[in-house]
Copies of this chain bind each other. A is one copy, B any other.
Amino acid sequence: MAYRETPAVRRRLDAARDRLVAKATDVVAEVGWAGASVTVVAAAAGMSAGSVYQHFASKAALAVEVFRRASGREVEVLGEVLRQGSGDPVERLAHGVEVFARRALERRGLAYALLAAPADPAVGAERLEYRRRYRALFAEVVREGVAIGLLPEQDPEITAAALTGAIGEILVDPLVEPTDAAERLVAELRALSLRCAGAAARPAHRHPSTMTDPDRRRTR
């Protein structure tokens, strides 16, 4: 043999793959899953349609990867806030909802694509899976709250499912257009979530999101 893959090549390939996924995510956020044909996505990533198949076995596989990467990040962030966050379970829940909502509002197109837009069956299945994860995270914190008597007796799974559905519904619909209304929306959502979980009304805690969203802390 006269050729063997060299580290440099591996890096280039991996970079190309990454770029493909990233660009595909942008396209999906922009025009939805339906508009993201292989040709279009490949062009956006600066490669030919054929090359896509160097990195993924099928379009569905690429779509799933796009979904996983974007959603994975959200689950991670939410989990971090809900679990490692400061304060009692109710505070963490409130904060988690806020962070989740703000992030979604900042990238509406992507949020819509991830949560609700028509998509491949493969993505649909993945969607269910990730919704289950959101639910599990919320359920955990609710369960904690119930255990220490901060929240009334309830089925945490159901409350968690409701929170997931409620937040999704509110964020996805073109309900709030002007960005300046976003803060009011987040506040309402926070209050609503607490009521859903049965927490007694309490004033919003002081934690400017910019300091507590793990993503921002890291990347800026």
Stretch of A38-46, A72-80, A186-194, A209-217 contacting B (4+ beta carbons < 8 Å): A186-194
Q: A124-B118, A128-B173, A201-B152 are in contact. Are A192 and B162 (CB under 8 A)?
A: yes
Copies of this protein chain in the complex = 2
Q: How far is the CA of A169 from the CA of B192 in the complex (A)?
A: 16
Question: Is A15's CB within 8 Å of the partner chain B?
Answer: no
Bound Cα distance A34, B117 (Å): 15
Which of A55-63, A87-95, A103-111, A153-161 is near enough to bind chain B?
A: A153-161
Q: Does B168 lie within 8 Å of A169, measured CB to CB?
A: yes
Q: Which residues of B contact A161 (CB under 8 A)?
A: 166, 169-170, 173, 175
Q: Are A169 and B159 in contact (CB under 8 A)?
A: no
Contacts of A159 in B (CB 8 A): 192
Closest approach, in angstroms, between the C-beta of A117 and any C-beta of chain B? 8
A64 contacts chain B at the CB level, 8 A cutoff = no
Chain B proximity of A43: nearest CB distance (Å) = 23
Interface CB pairs A-B, < 8 A, 8:
A34-B121, A118-B120, A152-B201, A154-B195, A158-B175, A158-B185, A158-B188, A166-B166
Question: 6 tightest CB-CB pairs across the interface, nearest first?
Answer: A165-B169, A162-B166, A165-B165, A165-B166, A166-B166, A196-B196
